[in-house]
Amino acid sequence: MVEIKKNSATFLAHAGRDPQNQYGFVNVPVVHGSTVIFPDLETFDNKAQKYSYAREGNPTSDALQDVITQMEGGAVTRITPSGLQAACLALMSVASSGKTVLLADCVYEPTRHFANRVLKCMGVTPVYFDPRIGAGISALIDETVCAIYLETPGSVTFELQDLPAIADARGGRDIPILIDNSWASPIFHQPLSLGADIVVHTGSKYFGGHSDLVIGTLTANEKWADSIVSTHHLFGSASSPDDMFLTLRGLKTLRMRMERHSSSALQLAEWLVGQDGVKEVIHPALPSHPDHALFQKYFTGSGSTFAFELEPASRLAVGRMLDMMEIFSIGVSFGGFESLILSPRPGNVRTAVPYGREGNLIRVHVGSEDVADLREDLAEGLKRYNRARN
């Protein structure tokens, strides 16, 4: 029997399909429906058939969950209508009133808002820490801590967290580590094998790959599987069959797309180093990045997004650069075929560690376009920026 490696192009091309039970059709069918019919009362009373109501799952969701679980090396996966809800349900699965959740200061801003508003209302205290704290997190861990939430790297400022060091710092305590792995995807990073317990993804990005769906996933190891299944059930979190189908379709090309994203983004980042007006390029795969050693140790590739800091200038200068881009569009997402550009202001939300940068931050998502064309578009944008700041 041919051995097929997990997350290989071969695995992704065939995972989740079962043509023998799909009337011979290659792809998983899209099952629309809410009500499920029972053949008799005994079956209903004993819950003796696989499906009872669409909210609990159907063949389409089963196929998607199975593929994600295998990709992550987990025990169980649940699908949510958005990546944010995946993060929220993960936190709700482990949070307890009167307890504390430790969160990396670089986490996705909407996740931060959920922690600050909803968790606080539940009596759960969010405490933010320096993403580069590593083993030093042990000083923050006491009897009140019920979970640690990471995002490595942060999707705006790109700090990596030392996941194994943080896992070891728990000292055997029963504290789950939750992690947003959207930047690298399971193709390039395997958090469950490094000490994480629950992994969340905004599948709207790389999993879908075409900017035409909103979906999220959360995957747990054996220890925390029942917790996420129960929370998912209690919240009645059901996703569109069409979005699940599109995600399954997107996964077929995930590896080749990730390899293209990784290569193109790194080429563009290397070119930006030393360009007029560029103060620093912030990409974990560059040797100049403070966390490059962690990247080399725990990642097998990089994502499509990175940032660079421009020399200080007015917001008007940033507008002159971004508003006239020909290929890059202004947008907040990443993972699709089209390249995006954004000028976030992370200093407005950071609390554990001062942001500290004086120049304007630019984040790019590198899509599937030719690198030479993207480079030319950025070069013209930098010229406009430099004219406006001088």
Tell me the torsion sign for CA atoms 66, 333, 339, 273. Answer: negative
Cα–Cα distance measured from residue 366 to residue 345, given in angstroms and rounded to the nearest whole number = 20
CA nearest neighbour of 337 among 301, 374, 310: 374
> Can 383 be counted among the known catalytic residues?
no
Point out the catalytic residue in the list 108, 128, 206, 385: 108
Point out the catalytic residue in the list 78, 99, 205, 350: 205
| 3 state DSSP class of 223 | helix
Which position has the token pair 């954004």?
Answer: 342
> Can 55 be counted among the known catalytic residues?
yes
**DSSP conformational letter for 28:** P
Q: Can you point out the beta strands (E) in 216-344?
A: 216-220, 278-282, 305-310, 329-330, 340-342
Point out the catalytic residue in the list 180, 197, 243, 377: 180
Point out the catalytic residue in the list 17, 55, 170, 249: 55
Which residues is 329 bridged to in the sheet?
340
Packing angle of the helix pair 59-72, 241-251 (nearest 10 deg)? 40
> Can 206 be counted among the known catalytic residues?
no
| 3 state DSSP class of 27 | coil
> Can 78 be counted among the known catalytic residues?
no
CA nearest neighbour of 61 among 243, 195, 219, 244: 244
Residues with a catalytic annotation lie at: 55, 108, 180, 205
